[in-house]
């Protein structure tokens, strides 16, 4: 995409994107819901709703708690299961979105991750697989893989062995040393890293004196976490040689540029979609002017420039 002589394109492991703006998994469904309100083909790509082997209802309600500058969610990976996603959701997405897609795969065991990834790998429109080893809202799975370098490496290696598409591993910030985990998944064969999933948080209702969320805790996201995400992208960029997708609190074209300067090759926009369904469109439209303001002619050229 070239607007006013500004080059917005970027590349993720050979996958060309018109621009770096990708709605984050879990905040954009399977995309088609948003096709009612604008032409979603302006997006760089879409990270689809987290998918597991079996259909999941997810956690009990309430699943949402408001915070200053963000929200806590505890959806618990509600999704129709991999078979229905391939049979019903992807064809529907394809009707509205013609570009490459990012599948987001979650699981509770290595077997489950490899099963789903092997199936999704065969889908033509899926050009990147995002391995979610960082969901804070499910027990015995999800984040437990993402908090231990050995497990993180092991699951990455197992999935890499059964897939052909670029594999991006989405990491949790709920660890002491993010660099250690990032290096482990790189060693496991990851083609890229997605940073960061939500921060574990909670709210308590003053009237009931009990946690707002049924599952007590949930994942905190929104503009409040942007500095944390930025810091982790910056740290990981120095330690690995694979591309990074930066995610966490991005709301504006300025945020996109800042995240790319830290080392992100592309960005995902999450919580902001829930507040403003047009936010990704707005960011993409504003990028050329913001680039102009800061003397940037090509986004690719600024990746990691803060180092």
Residues that bind other proteins (CB under 8 A): 26-29, 33-34, 36-37, 49, 57-58, 61-64, 66-71, 73, 75, 78, 222, 271, 273-278
Are the C-beta atoms of residues 188 and 160 closer than 8 Å to each other?
A: yes
- Of 81 and 304, the one with the shorter C-beta distance to other proteins is 81
- Of 184 and 212, the one with the shorter C-beta distance to other proteins is 212
Q: Which of 116, 117, 135, 280 is catalytic?
A: 135
Whether 135 is catalytic is yes
- Nearest approach, Cβ of 4 to other proteins (angstroms)? 25
- Nearest approach, Cβ of 33 to other proteins (angstroms)? 5
User: Distance between alpha carbon 270 and the CA centroid of its chain, in Å?
Assistant: 8
CA distances from 197 to 72, 115, 228, 247 (A): 12, 23, 11, 7
Count Cβ atoms below 10 Å from residue 300 Cβ, excluding itself. Answer: 13
- Nearest approach, Cβ of 247 to other proteins (angstroms)? 16
For the chain, the distance separating the N- and C-terminal CA atoms, rounded to the nearest angstrom, is 26
- Of 61 and 239, the one with the shorter C-beta distance to other proteins is 61
Question: Considering Cα of 282, then 283, then 289, then 290, what sign does the dihedral take?
Answer: positive
- Of 67 and 202, the one with the shorter C-beta distance to other proteins is 67
- Nearest approach, Cβ of 66 to other proteins (angstroms)? 5
Cα diameter, the chain: 56
- Nearest approach, Cβ of 214 to other proteins (angstroms)? 10
- Of 71 and 233, the one with the shorter C-beta distance to other proteins is 71
Using CA atoms, how far apart are residues 15 and 11, in angstroms rounded to an integer? 5
- Of 36 and 124, the one with the shorter C-beta distance to other proteins is 36
Rounded to a whole number of angstroms, the CA Rg of the chain reads 18
Q: Which of 53, 63, 42, 114 is nearest to 85 (CA)?
A: 53
* Residue 6, beta-bridge partner list: 3
Q: Is the backbone of residue 48 left (phi > 0), alpha (psi -120 to 50) or beta?
A: beta
- The DSSP secondary structure of 13-32, one letter per residue, reads TTEEESSSEEEPTTSSTTSH
Using CA atoms, how far apart are residues 170 and 243, in angstroms rounded to an integer? 12
- Nearest approach, Cβ of 223 to other proteins (angstroms)? 8
Which residues belong to the active site? 135
């Amino acid at each position: 995409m070239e607007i006013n002589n500004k080059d917005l394109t970027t590349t993720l492991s050979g996958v060309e994107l018109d621009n770096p703006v990708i709605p984050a998994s879990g905040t954009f469904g399977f995309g088609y819901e948003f096709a009612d309100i604008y032409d979603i083909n302006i997006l760089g790509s879409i990270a689809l709703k987290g998918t597991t082997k079996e259909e999941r209802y997810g956690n009990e309600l309430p699943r949402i708690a408001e915070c200053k500058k963000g929200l806590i969610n505890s959806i618990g990976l509600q999704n129709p299961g991999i078979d229905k996603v391939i049979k019903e959701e992807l064809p529907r997405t394809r009707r509205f979105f013609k570009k490459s897609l990012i599948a987001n795969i979650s699981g509770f065991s290595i077997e489950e991750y490899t099963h789903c990834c092997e199936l999704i790998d065969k889908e033509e429109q899926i050009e990147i697989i995002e391995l979610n080893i960082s969901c804070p809202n499910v027990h015995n799975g999800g984040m437990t893989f993402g908090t231990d370098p050995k497990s993180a490496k092991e699951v990455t290696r197992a999935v890499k062995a059964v897939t052909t598409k670029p594999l991006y591993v989405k990491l949790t910030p709920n660890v002491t040393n993010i660099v250690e985990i990032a290096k482990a998944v790189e060693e496991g064969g990851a083609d890229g890293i997605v940073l960061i999933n939500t921060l574990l948080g909670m709210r308590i209702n003053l009237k009931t004196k009990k946690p707002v969320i049924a599952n007590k805790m949930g994942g905190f996201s929104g503009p409040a976490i942007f500095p944390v995400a930025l810091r982790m992208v910056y740290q990981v960029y120095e330690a690995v040689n694979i591309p990074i997708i930066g995610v966490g609190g991005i709301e504006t074209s300025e945020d996109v540029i800042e995240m790319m300067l830290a080392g992100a090759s592309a960005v995902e926009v999450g919580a902001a979609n829930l507040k403003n369904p047009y936010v990704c469109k707005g960011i993409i439209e504003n990028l050329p002017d913001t680039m102009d303001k800061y003397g940037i002619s090509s986004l690719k050229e600024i990746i990691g420039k803060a180092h």
